[in-house]
Structure 1
Amino acid sequence: MKKKVIIFFFLLLIVVIGACLYTYKDHRDIATEKGSYTIAATEIFSEFRTNENVANAKYLDKTIEVTGDLSNIDVATKSIVINDKLFATFKEGIPKTLQSNSKIKIKGRFIGYDALVEELKMDQCVLETP
């Protein structure tokens, strides 16, 4: 009987440790990840307009690199808008080298498409060299 109790607690300990390791994984570091796709903002927007479900399966929660023209900069919220269609927030802050209406390439995590306002969304972005 004593051996069964010891084995039970040992197995329970293994399950608890496994659950903790699964639950408290390290966070992703988007800046060091290799981009799954490199695409223009207008192209990815077109894919979502054509078939949102297919595009979601392809891009959602993936690290992607996006190029386009910088439409808007908001330093207070650490965000930019590319081609009036892609809203992106930076992890650290807006680089001081950014200027409106310039070509830009960013890397970040794609978090979704808002069909109501027809806007793509990314977060944890970093500036890439074009």
Structure 2
Amino acid sequence: MKKKILIGILISVVIAIVFYGYIYQSHRDISTEAATYSISIPELEKEFTANDSLALVKYQDQTIELTAQITAVDIENKAIILDNKVFATFEESLPENIISGKMATIKGRFLGYDDLLEEFKLDQSSIIR
């Protein structure tokens, strides 16, 4: 009887340790990850226009790289807008050389498409060049 209780406690402890490790795993560092997709904004729009469900499954939570013109800079919210179509937020403050009208290549985690604002959302973005 004591063996069964001891084995039950041991199994419970192992399950708890595995569960804790799964829940509290380390966060991704998007800035050091290689981009899964390097795509232009018109190509991204074309895929979402053709089949938004399929495109969302393909790009959701993936690291993507985009090259486009910066159309707006929001220093207070640490965000930029590319070609009036992509809203990208940054973890840290924006680099000093970010200005509207300049071409930039950014990498970030794709969050999705906002139907209301008709723009794509990225977070954890970083400037590549």
Q: TM-score, normalised by structure 2?
A: 0.96
Deviations 1:86-109 (A, max 9, x none): 000011111111121111100000
Number of the residue aligned with 2:11: 11
Structure 2: gaps (5+ residues): none
Number of the residue aligned with 1:81: 81
Aligned-residue offset at 1:50: 2.3
CA distance in 2, matches of 1:73, 1:105: 15
Alignment of 1:44-123 (within 5 A): 44-123=44-123
Q: After the TM superposition, list the runs of 4 or more consecutive aligned residues in structure 1 that deviate by more than 6 angstroms.
A: none
Cα RMSD after superposing both structures: 0.9
- The answer on whether the counterparts of 1:68 and 1:83 sit within 8 Å (CA) in structure 2 is yes
The residue type paired with residue 111 of structure 2 is: I
Q: How many pairs does the alignment contain?
A: 129
- The answer on whether the counterparts of 1:45 and 1:85 sit within 8 Å (CA) in structure 2 is no
CA distance in 2, matches of 1:83, 1:30: 22
Number of the residue aligned with 2:43: 43
Structure 1: gaps (5+ residues): none
Aligned-residue offset at 1:49: 2.2
